[in-house]
Amino acid sequence: MGTELLDAVALSRLADLKLRARTVVEGALAGLHRSPHHGASVEFAEHKEYSPGDEVRRIDWKAYGKFDKYYIKRYEEETELRGYLVIDCSASMGYAGKGVSKLAYATYLAAALAYLMLRQQDQAGLVAFAETLRAYLPPRSRSGHLGDLLDALGALEAKGKTDLPRAMAYVSDVARRRSLIVLFSDLLETGYEAVHLLRGLKARRHDVVLFHVLDSDELTLPFEGPTEFEGMEDDERLVADPEVVRAQYLAEITRFTEGCKRGCAEGDVEYHLCDTARPPSAVLLDFLRARGRGRR
């Protein structure tokens, strides 16, 4: 990765969420354009090369300007891409080790996706949840909608417990047409149940993506000496020596993340593990490359 990719802590120092979103997008696109496999569109898999007999009105002229080839954008029900950014705002998402919180990291990624989608004149919406619905903005592409989305993202707070089944039921109800559904969550209270619910959305022909957001501390357990661990969604406390439990813990967290990844793959749900120590642009670049390869 190039040195121009800012980590989440550096992004947090930028003036506002719009600038952070644009910086994440520009960093990802810079990496994408260096790749032999281009495809900057969020939904580039919805394109195919023009061939005789295709309707000329369906030519994507922006794609022509970028790649010097004629591409046809294939629309579902004669409309643009409709996306729902679904964000877990439960208390566990408030954890921040040496960097920003998992919720802040998720909002940077979601803001970048919204910025990219609206720049393409696609529709982006927001569903934020914990034990209840925290925020909902229906997908739109009108002028000013990005500002509304960024304001809503910036106001989110990590508190309460997770009720992912309720959130997924809500998304299933509002996403009547085939949509891109992107979930940002640590899955700590839901785990494989979440994967099952996402697979259910995929079975309904939605394009489903999971950004599994975990703090670097949760992935590495870097602590030394007797440490008190406190539950963020309950009152449980546990004192343990990380040196004693680290090997078992790392095996368990690997089993957990690999199990989620495998369950997603089996249900054709796109999975991205997001370590908060990694630049958000690098995660977005992985996502765009998957789109460019026609990952569905």
Contact 109, 280 (CB under 8 A): yes
Q: Record the tokens describing residue 166, joined without a space.
A: 């309720």
Contact 177, 204 (CB under 8 A): no
The more confident residue out of 193 and 52 is: 193
* Model confidence at 256: pLDDT above 70: yes
Q: Which of 30-44, 68-82, 235-249 has the highest mean pLDDT?
A: 235-249
Contact 92, 189 (CB under 8 A): yes
Point out the least confidently predicted range of 65-69, 109-113, 286-290: 65-69
Q: Which residues contact 80 (CB under 8 A, 6 or more apart)?
A: 120, 121, 122, 123, 141
Helices of type H across 34-92: 61-67
Going by C-alpha positions, the residue among 113, 130, 133, 117 that lies closest to residue 20 is: 113
Provide φ and ψ at 230, rounded to 5°: -120, 130
* Model confidence at 72: pLDDT above 70: no
Coil, strand or helix: which one is 183?
strand
What pLDDT was estimated at residue 235? 66
The more confident residue out of 171 and 235 is: 171
CA distance 3 to 1: 7
CA distance 272 to 269: 10
Topology (CATH) of 8-43+81-292: Rossmann fold (3.40.50)
The more confident residue out of 98 and 170 is: 170
- Residue ranges covered by each domain of the chain: 8-43+81-292
Q: What letter does residue 76 receive in the DSSP assignment? A: B
* Model confidence at 224: pLDDT above 50: yes
Q: What angle do CA 140, 81, 33 make, to 5 degrees?
A: 110
CA distance 138 to 125: 5
- Name the CA dihedral angle for 220, 283, 180, 125, rounded to a multiple of 10 degrees: 90
* Model confidence at 85: pLDDT above 80: yes
* Model confidence at 88: pLDDT above 80: yes
The more confident residue out of 239 and 25 is: 25
What pLDDT was estimated at residue 66? 64
CA distance 97 to 114: 26
Provide φ and ψ at 35, rounded to 5°: -85, 150
